Amino acid sequence: MKFVVGLTGGIGSGKSAAADEFAALGASVVDTDAIARELTDKGGAALAHIERLFGAAFLDASGAMNRKKMRDHVFADPAAKQALENLLHPLIREESARRIAEASGPYVVHVVPLLLESPGYRSRVDRVLVVDASEQAQLARVRARSGLSADEVRAIMRTQVSRAERLASADDVIDNSGSLEALRKQVGALHQKYLQFARA
C-alpha cells in the first residue's frame, strides 16, 4: 500500500510550489488540477462530453475548453457548475487512482485543491498537508498570475472552506507566507518525516 499525503490549500497559497519541491526530492506528485487541464485541453477525454452538455461555444479555436468562458458561466449558474463537476470529477478521480497505483516514488503527494470539500478524496489519503498563506498573499499571487480582479479572486475564495477550517483539518501545515527558501526548508523536514511513515 502506498503512503499518500493529501496536499491542499486555498487558491494562491502556493500548492504548486510546494508540490514542485516534493517532486524535486523524489516524491511522486499526482495533481488533480493538472489532470483536469489534460482532460479539457485539445484532444482531452472530456471535450466531447463538454460540447454535448454546454455546446461548441464553450470550446476555443484550438478545440480545448474555453476556460474563462466556462468559469464565468459556472460561477453565474450553480446548475451548470454541478453539471461540469458531475462530468469531470469521476474522470479526475479515476485517473488519479491510476497514477497513484503506478507511482514509483517512496510516497505520493496527491494535490487536491478541494480535498476537504470532497469527502471521496479525504478517505484516500493517509495525512492532510495544508499549505497556508494570508488572504492578502493569496489575493496578490492570484491577481499577479491570472489577471483576475480582487473581487473575482474573493468570490473563488468564498467557494472554498475557510482558512480556519482548513487548518483545523490539517495533520501538517506549511506556512508559505515567506520566501521560497523558507518553503524549501519546511518541505525538506516533512519529506524526512514522510519517508519514515512510508517505511513504517
Q: What is the DSSP letter of 56?
A: G
Judged against a pLDDT cut of 90, whether residue 1 lies above it is answered with: no
- Please give the CATH topology (third level) of the domain spanning 1-27+106-200: Rossmann fold (3.40.50)
Beta-strand ranges (E) seen in 32-170 are 108-111, 127-132
Q: Which long-range contacts (CB under 8 A, 24 or more apart) does 90-97 make?
A: 91/39, 91/45, 91/46, 92/32, 92/35, 92/36, 92/39, 93/120, 93/121, 95/35, 95/39, 96/30, 96/32, 96/35, 97/124
φ, ψ at 16 (rounded to 5°)? -65, -40
Calpha distance 5→112 (Å, rounded): 10
**What is the average pLDDT score of the chain?**
94
Could you tell me the end-to-end alpha-carbon distance of the chain, in angstroms, rounded to an integer? 11
Nearest to 156 by CA among 96, 81, 46, 93: 81
Provide the grid cell at 147: 489577471
Q: Write out the three cell numbers for 164.
A: 480556519
Ranges of each domain in the chain: 1-27+106-200, 39-104
Q: Are 25 and 195 in contact (CB under 8 A)?
A: no
Instruction: Report pLDDT digits (tens) over 120-154.
Output: 888 899 999 999 999 899 999 999 988 888 898 89
Q: Which of 53-57, 134-138, 169-173 has the lowest mean pLDDT?
A: 134-138
**Amino acid making up residue 4:** V
Return the residue matching grid coordinates 480545448: 64
Across-strand partners of 120?
none
Q: How confident is the model at residue 190 (pLDDT cuts 50, 70, 90)?
A: very high
Q: What is the pLDDT of residues 72-107, one digit of tens each?
A: 899 889 999 999 999 999 999 999 999 999 999 999
Residue 119 in this model has a pLDDT that exceeds 80: no
Nearest to 30 by CA among 107, 82, 90, 84: 107
Closest CA to 8 of 126, 142, 81, 113: 113
